[in-house]
Amino acid sequence: MEYFADIPQIEYEGPQSKNSLAFKHYNPEEILEGQSMRDLFRFSICYWHTFRGTGSDPFGGATLQRPWDDGSNSVENALKRVDVAFEFFEKLQAPYYCFHDKDVSPDGDTLKEANDNFDRIADKLQEAQERTGIKLLWGTANMFSHPRFMHGAATSPNADVFAYAAAQVKKAMEVTHRLGGENYVFWGGREGYMNLFNTDMKRELDHLAQFMHLAVEHAQKIGFKGQFLFEPKPKEPTKHQYDFDAAACLNFLRANDLLDHVKLNIETNHATLAGHTMMHELVYSSIQGALGSIDANTGDLLLGWDTDQFPTDIYLATQCMLAILDQGGLAPGGVNFDAKVRRESFEPIDLFYAHIGGMDAFARGAKIAAQIRKDGVLSDFVAKRYTSYDEGIGKQIEAGSLSFADLEAYMLEKGDSAPNSSGRQEWIENVINDYL
Ligand code: XUL
Ligand code: CO
């Protein structure tokens, strides 16, 4: 059975093509900075938006036409969705996918029932992976939709909820391991607070740290070697999410001795909700050796919530790729489209246009970033901006060989600092535009 019978295999046709169902820039075989685009991006499709999204929003119900889906929460419907999903991944030449446990598999009235459902679906996912060669970038557990998680999961004041969450993550890690998942993601869900008057923040953060140590211990026990990833987000659904941004996550990990076990999955729309640019979050985590993977999407400046739109902005993609190329790629992470089509884009073909657009935007961004890097325009300018640290007093400062008293003596002798050079922001922005 073919579910997208009208859609051909999506191939690379080059920038001159006028075919909307073809790649104009993403050529999996093309080499950029020594690696193929396939290996550089490791594109992944998310199950939740693409196969479970309905188009509903706080003001209206489902709009999306998904003729294969009977709308029920049955195991049969979930099994059929696996076929649909893998046909979609194959047609798009996407090498990876990722899921929450509850996206792929129906919940149960008891934990046992939910686990049994998950095992049945995992059998089918495994079969589909073996048949197609498509791999699992990461798995995760949905611990925010069910009412039991109203106060959070690991940070819930209800210890039974902590226990349920532990059992759920244990199972999701085991299934991820069985399916060869290369990473395991912890997005904060409802780990945060709505009001500090009723919240013991210290106790909640301690519980979260304890939970993470249990996860590390279980990974070792089952031999799961995948990378753990925190996914920073400042708000939504809670007023203040504990994993606010890269800096807050890294502080939590460092304070709780988890830095060796967890890196970050940086998402564009989360970065902007935190008042940062995506490039800021990427560079900030990368310089600390903690940039593991990205959730590629974009927000809407005027709407201001987590709209999870497909990334089509070449400027944004160029900024992302400058940071990613700078650390040589993302493996074992990848570029996952945590993005959904608008509720007005209700036909299945819109799913293809959306992903093709995102993949092409990243491919173009990468080509531009690689050229900028090859010409050395940014690196040369930035290196020149700091030359005062390459010799003399600056070199001694960086070497750590001078005290405040030494620096005072130096400046008393000199009288005043050397003149500054221009930051040339407008010039450097013009130079980047020349590459677009
Ligand atoms: C929520 C979000 C999640 C994570 C996985 O904003 O981004 O879908 O990516 O739990
Ligand atoms: Co995400």
Q: Which atom of ligand 1 is nearest to the CA of 144?
A: 10
Q: Which atom of ligand 1 is nearest to the CA of 100?
A: 10
For ligand 1, mutation pick of 96, 104, 233, 273 (most atoms within 8 Å of CB): 233
* Catalytic member of 103, 306, 308, 360: 103
* Ligand lying closest to the C-alpha of residue 139: 1
Is residue 103 among the annotated active site residues? yes
Q: Which atom of ligand 1 is nearest to the CA of 306?
A: 6
**Ligand 1 cavity residues, CB under 6 Å:** 48, 100, 140, 185, 187, 231, 233, 267, 295, 306, 338
Give percent of the chain above pLDDT 70. Answer: 100
- Measure the CA–CA gap between 159 and 34, rounded to whole angstroms: 50
Mean pLDDT of 60-75: 97
Structure confidence at residue 399 as a pLDDT band (50, 70, 90):
very high
C-alpha 112 – ligand 2 centre gap (Å): 28
Which residue puts its alpha carbon closest to atom 5 of ligand 1?
Answer: 187
* Ligand lying closest to the C-alpha of residue 294: 2
Domains located in the chain, CATH noted: 31-375 (3.20.20.150), 389-435 (no CATH)
Cβ atoms of 264 and 220 within 8 Å: the answer is no
C-alpha 188 – ligand 2 centre gap (Å): 10
pLDDT at 268 over 90: yes
* Catalytic member of 100, 207, 276, 280: 100
Half-sphere exposure of 175 (CA within 13 A, CB side): 29
Structure confidence at residue 304 as a pLDDT band (50, 70, 90):
confident
Strands 192-193 and 240-241: antiparallel
Cα end-to-end span (Å), the chain: 43
C-alpha 363 – ligand 1 centre gap (Å): 23
Q: Residue 136 CB: number of other CB atoms within 10 A?
A: 23
- Measure the CA–CA gap between 381 and 387, rounded to whole angstroms: 10
pLDDT at 147 over 90: yes
Cβ atoms of 323 and 291 within 8 Å: the answer is yes
C-alpha 33 – ligand 1 centre gap (Å): 30
Mean pLDDT of 124-152: 98
Mean pLDDT of 203-213: 98
- pLDDT tens by residue, 282-296: 999 999 999 999 999
Cβ atoms of 50 and 85 within 8 Å: the answer is yes
Task: Compute φ and ψ for 294, nearest 5 degrees.
Answer: -130, 150
Which residue puts its alpha carbon closest to atom 7 of ligand 1?
Answer: 338
**What is the rounded (10 degree) CA torsion for 416, 422, 425, 431?**
-150
How distant is the alpha carbon of residue 363 from its chain centre?
Answer: 17
Which residue's structure tokens are 């106790």?
203
- pLDDT tens by residue, 170-183: 999 999 999 999 99
- pLDDT tens by residue, 361-389: 999 999 999 999 999 999 999 999 999 99
C-alpha 187 – ligand 1 centre gap (Å): 6
C-alpha 385 – ligand 1 centre gap (Å): 38
Is residue 261 among the annotated active site residues? no
Mean pLDDT of 177-190: 98
DSSP state of 228: E
Host H or E run for residue 154? none
Q: Which atom of ligand 1 is nearest to the CA of 48?
A: 8
- Measure the CA–CA gap between 364 and 139, rounded to whole angstroms: 28
Which residue puts its alpha carbon closest to atom 8 of ligand 1?
Answer: 338
Which residue's structure tokens are 């049955």?
74
